Amino acid sequence: MKTMTEIVVPQLAESLVSATIDKWLKQPGDWVDIYEPVCEIITDKVNAELPSTVAGKLVQILVGKGETVPVGTPICIIEVEGSAAPSGDAPAQSQSAGAAAATPEAESVSEDAPMRNRFSPAVQQLAAEHAIRLTDVPGTGLGGRITRKDVLAYVALGAVKASNTSGGNAAVPAPHRVDAAAQVRSSGLHLTETPRFPKIEVEGATGAGRGDNFIDVTPIRNTIARNMKQSVTEIPHAWTMIEVDVTNLVLLRNKLKDDFMKREGINLTYLAFLLKAVVNAIKDVPIMNSMWAVDKIIVKRDINIALAVGTEDSVLTPVIKNADHKNVAGLAKEIEELARKTREGKLTLSDMQGGTFTVNNTGSFGSILSYPIINYPQAAILTFESIVKRPVVINDMIAVRSMANLCLSLDHRILDGVICGRFLQRVKDNLESFNLESKLY
């Protein structure tokens, strides 16, 4: 017996109301495994692959490339064999991409695990990356739900079994390494890479052989435009700048970067030290970690640092959660991971949510002074400019020092010049306190 199952656009986030089909990864007649991506979708938050909830043959595509449809809209039909058809009281066509299809293994799960077959997008993506079936993974979450930790534990268990089976000679994937000659800017662009630019479609050619250039506005670009307009319209911006002597920091990084590359396989950037300095300053001046709520000012308990990461066609702000719990090495790893996921288009909605203070490393592009727009609805944003050698007067003598500017934009409804001046001074002190004895771990 065969069943026709519709794959629909899932509700990936509360604010998500529609999505655009960017590319179909499968075509009619292709076989699709459960959790295998069938297409790529573009939302106003991130781009994501849409996994199939069932295993079967793709028989019809309902929504073409480039079309935007509301959440819950069927986008394709998959023909499922009777043994692999979804079970339960709900009709097959109501199955969304956020819920998993039941299989014979899943049917054996006891009724005291009502959440067993409800998988989050993050869990589905992780399972797809490691090519495992979620029905085989024991769930330890509420109601038997499978968590990311469960998936990672299952993957680790499989690696151990493979090693034991082969007598300990199983090939183990080497840790991610980065060629020192292709170091990565904190902006997410390779130093050895020519930056790509948005594709331009030429239309409306005139008799003279010239015409206007048109660039389609993507959902992400539309969201950037809306948020920037909202920020400058609603938030009364002010800005201030301070100069920092980072000579000792330059010496420290030069001393540690080679060993750090050998040990961790990633580049040790100045941004990691800056984030540590900013986080410690926020601890001392917690009002910087706040938001405007009309009749209240909400001071956030968690310090979640959003990083402005540039790609060829947009600027995204992935978030380092609980940045105050991480040392410099931990922050460096988070920066590298988020930059990599941004370059590869693998950011999730979770990566983009919860930011309380934004930092932008504009110095990676050679900027020495900038006026950033606040990442709405946060209270402030800080830019770290280029490190430049300058003549500086120290004790009435001129010395050549490595100097950098820190530029802060602030919401003047919440913050004033005095408090922001103290905050910047604290960041400055923290950066200048690094020396050759400072530790990364």
Query: 122 vs 49, 119, 161, 272, CA distance in Å?
Result: 11, 8, 25, 26
Question: CA–CA separation, 358 vs 368, rounded Å?
Answer: 18
Closest by Cα among 160, 114, 109 to 138: 109
Separation of alpha carbons 71 and 50, rounded Å: 12
Do strands 305-307 and 357-360 pair parallel, antiparallel, or not at all (unpaired)?
parallel
- Per the CB < 8 A criterion, the answer to whether 340 and 350 are in contact is no
Return the number of other C-beta atoms located less than 10 Å from residue 1's C-beta: 7
Contact 377, 354 (CB under 8 A): no
**Contact at 8 Å (CB) between 326 and 334?**
yes
**Locate tokens 């002010």: which residue?**
238
Question: Dmax over Cα atoms in the chain, in whole Å?
Answer: 90
The yes-or-no answer on residue 112 being catalytic is no
What's the alpha-carbon Rg for the chain, to the nearest Å? Answer: 25
Could you tell me what percentage of the chain is helix, strand and coil, using 3-state DSSP and rounding each to the nearest 5?
30, 25, 45
Distance CA 324, CA 110 (A): 41
Residue environment code for 255-294, b if the CB has 16+ CB neighbours within 10 A, otherwise e:
ebeeebbeebebbbbbbbbbbbbbbbbbeebebbbbbbee
Other Cβ atoms less than 10 A from the Cβ of 54: the count is 25
Active site residue 324: no
E strands in 221-271 = 237-245
Quote the Cα angle for 358-46-57, to 5°.
Answer: 160
Exactly one of 30, 237, 412, 429 is catalytic; which is it?
412
Catalytic residue numbers, as ranges: 412, 416
